[in-house]
Amino acid sequence: GLALNAPYPKGVTTITWTATDVDGMTATGTQTITVNDKENPSIVAPDGISTGNDLHLPSAVVSTGTAQAADNCPDVKVSSSRSDGAAPGDPFMVGLTTITWTATDASGNTASAKQSITVRDVEAPTLVMADNIITVNATSTTGAIVTYTLNASDNVGVTSKVCSRASGSYFPIGETTVTCTVADAAGNTASGSFVVLVLNAQAQMENLIQYILGLGLSEGTTNPLVNQVRAAYGDGSVGQQCNKMSDFISMVVKKGRGIPFDNAAYMNTEAARIMAVLGCGYAPSRTRLLDPSLLGN
């Protein structure tokens, strides 16, 4: 019904031509006009997004928005695909993900636009320190080798652990503060500190006394042992302290004292270490410390 010079719509339009002579005789013919949609739609992607990760996760849920499309014909459809292959509504992992938005019209013409989604790791690692104070016995006149455990976790992964004094290092007698820092790949860090206390000979003697008192042995067994350690504790001369601790070991292994073997072995092992810390020029033999045949049980 349109005029011949009017625009033709997309698709097939048939024109019927009619010839009429003076006598009113007619003849007809048809002409087909086909208009194909060759024009691509237009599409505008949403603005790129940069956001931090969701708490404790290596990803983030992101509301991306939807691309806007237009076309010379109605019924244009918009679809999307992600560079990571995930479904549109899935969380985005830390890093860069590209969304390709595509507009497709009814004729199959397409146009695309890209949107960048960047998820930044903004969460610091979690650092689980050793106990606030790690107490160990000195094993020599100057200190002891100390090992400790440093646990750290991160939503993406811990890349480095650095401590001011590493586990397995030699620590001097007294208190040493250890500061540790852990980092992840994004440069987020967490730090903490703890104290390593290395006990000197006198502190170890006091602990040995408390151990003996806690065994519940008879007074005839307990008192001489405790008094011997106290005598070593109170003597200012290293040489005398060494002699008294050596005599303590002899008292423990003396037959008839009624000390269970495991307890006796522990006490004499402690005493031998105390002698090493004092700097005694000799140490009891292992047989003297541990041979059950020397104990009166």
> How much is the pLDDT for 286?
45
* 85-116: b (≥16 Cβ within 10 Å) or e: eeeeeeebbbeebebebbbbbebebebbbebe
The label of the residue with tokens 């969701």 reads: 54
Tell me how far apart the alpha carbons of residues 21 and 27 are, in angstroms, rounded to a whole number. 9
Contacts of 218 (CB under 8 A, 6+ apart): 258
Task: With beta carbons less than 8 A apart as the criterion, state whether 118 and 94 touch.
Answer: no
What residues of the chain score a pLDDT lower than 70? 37, 255-257, 282-297
Geometric angle at alpha carbon 127, from 124 and 131, rounded to 5°: 160
> How much is the pLDDT for 296?
47
Angle between helices 201-213 and 219-234 (to 10 degrees): 170
Tell me how far apart the alpha carbons of residues 155 and 188 are, in angstroms, rounded to a whole number. 11
**pTM for this model (two decimals):** 0.74
The label of the residue with tokens 């003597």 reads: 235
CA 203 to chain centre: 38
Task: With beta carbons less than 8 A apart as the criterion, state whether 101 and 67 touch.
Answer: yes
Q: What is the DSSP string of 128-141?
A: E-S-SEEEEE--SS
> How much is the pLDDT for 236?
76
Tell me how far apart the alpha carbons of residues 236 and 34 are, in angstroms, rounded to a whole number. 116
- How many CB atoms within 10 Å of residue 226? 17
Domains in the chain (CATH in brackets) are: 42-120 (2.60.40.10), 126-199 (2.60.40.10), 201-294 (no CATH)
Task: With beta carbons less than 8 A apart as the criterion, state whether 127 and 192 touch.
Answer: yes
Tell me how far apart the alpha carbons of residues 222 and 213 are, in angstroms, rounded to a whole number. 7
Tell me how far apart the alpha carbons of residues 73 and 41 are, in angstroms, rounded to a whole number. 9
